[in-house]
Structure 1
Amino acid sequence: METRRRSLVKAVIWNLIGLAVMALVGLVATGSAAVGGAMALVNTAVGLVMYLVYERIWSRIRWGRHV
């Protein structure tokens, strides 16, 4: 089983990568750094919470694990 701290660190790193990508996509799509940045922040906040929930659920599922 993975610790909560490990899940959190993985989620934060993944979401920082996603934040950078989404900010660039938002900038290209809208032509505005402010709108692109806002889109990226909302996406990152939602994504972080969803990723943590997803990881914690999967950490409890034994299917496919060799112990």
Structure 2
Amino acid sequence: MLSKIKHKRHIAKTLTWRVVGTLDTIVLSWIISGDPTIGMQIGLTESITKMVLYYLHERVWVKIYIANSRKRHLIKTVTWRVIGTLDTVLLSWFFTGNPYLGLQIGAAEVVTKMLLYYLHERLWYKINFGLDKRIRARKWKRT
């Protein structure tokens, strides 16, 4: 039962983060490339690649215990950003045909996405969706 609960929570976190992340990618790619079509291509392709990568990242992190929630969220933010930035750079390079634009878009996202991801993690930490009562009780004792 517990694993089903965790899967449901991770899927919900994946979907909410992907909406935030995709909008950020579309806007940044559009601004940097000057082409709204490029922004949409990168953002929509990323919506698929990043959902898979994010879900796998969540499954790894469910096995890692770090008592301090802020430290945990900070480390998760950094590890996810490395994975996410590499994905963005490669997709941006592919769609623009320009590795320099790929690096520019990836570099811009490092700043915006880390802030957005940290806020997303903090919000989900306060939401009990998908957690059983034992986990909720432990979580609130650690905060």
TM-score with structure 2 length normalisation? 0.43
Change (3 A) 1:4 1:61: same
Whichever residue aligns with residue 121 of structure 2, its letter is E
**Offset, 1:63:** 3.5
Q: Percent identity?
A: 27
**Offset, 1:2:** 5.9
**Offset, 1:62:** 2.7
Residue in 2 that maps onto 1:10 = 76
The count of aligned residue pairs is 67
* Cα distance in 1 between the residues matched to 2:82 and 2:111: 10
Structure 2: any 5+ residue segments left out of the alignment?
1-66, 135-143
Aligned partner (choices 108, 120, 132) of residue 54 of structure 1: 120
Residue in 2 that maps onto 1:33 = 99
Larger helix proportion of the pair? 2
Considering only CA atoms, is the larger Rg found in Structure 1 or Structure 2?
2
Q: Give 3-state SS (helix, strand or coil) of 2:127's partner.
A: coil
Structure 1: any 5+ residue segments left out of the alignment?
none
CA RMSD of aligned residues (A): 1.7
